[in-house]
Structure 1
Amino acid sequence: MAETTIGLYKTEAIRDDSPFRRGPLHRLADVELITADWVSWFNRSRLMHRLGRKPPVEYEADYYALHAEQPAGDR
């Protein structure tokens, strides 16, 4: 799994035509900024097929909203 994630990161965040890049990478800080943006997108915004093509944040909110309405014994 780590190798797949690293491959996605390099393809989606580091390549020259990446939407996360704001220019050339001259300093470590440039890479850190891109990495933070990509990780935020990856964990919060990307559409996930196994979650019904929803972003993780939306799926999590739906999950807790559904379970908040059920008494603890019904779970």
Structure 2
Amino acid sequence: MGLFKSELIHSYGPWKGLNDVEAATLDWVHWFNTARPHESIQDLTPIQAEQTHYTHRTRVAEAG
């Protein structure tokens, strides 16, 4: 919650109304879950980490 408030709410306000906050929140959550590099997964985005995981699994399965 603190990261959300510092990165979005406090940085981009003042807000005109609840609808503006809700729309910005949806965009921020989408960015956070798909495009933001995460330190815990070697600074990859979640999508990159998932692609790496499935590429590795496919290669292992093909190698038998």
- Return the alpha-carbon distance in structure 2 between the equivalents of residues 68 and 29 of structure 1: 44
> 1:9 maps to what in 2?
4
Ranges in structure 2 where 5+ consecutive residues have no aligned partner? none
> 1:42 maps to what in 2?
32
RMSD: 1.9
- Return the alpha-carbon distance in structure 2 between the equivalents of residues 24 and 59 of structure 1: 35
Ranges in structure 1 where 5+ consecutive residues have no aligned partner? 1-5
TM-score normalised according to structure 1 size: 0.71
Equivalent pairs: percent with the same residue?
37
One-letter amino acid of the structure 1 residue matched with residue 60 of structure 2: Q
The number of residues matched between the two structures is: 63
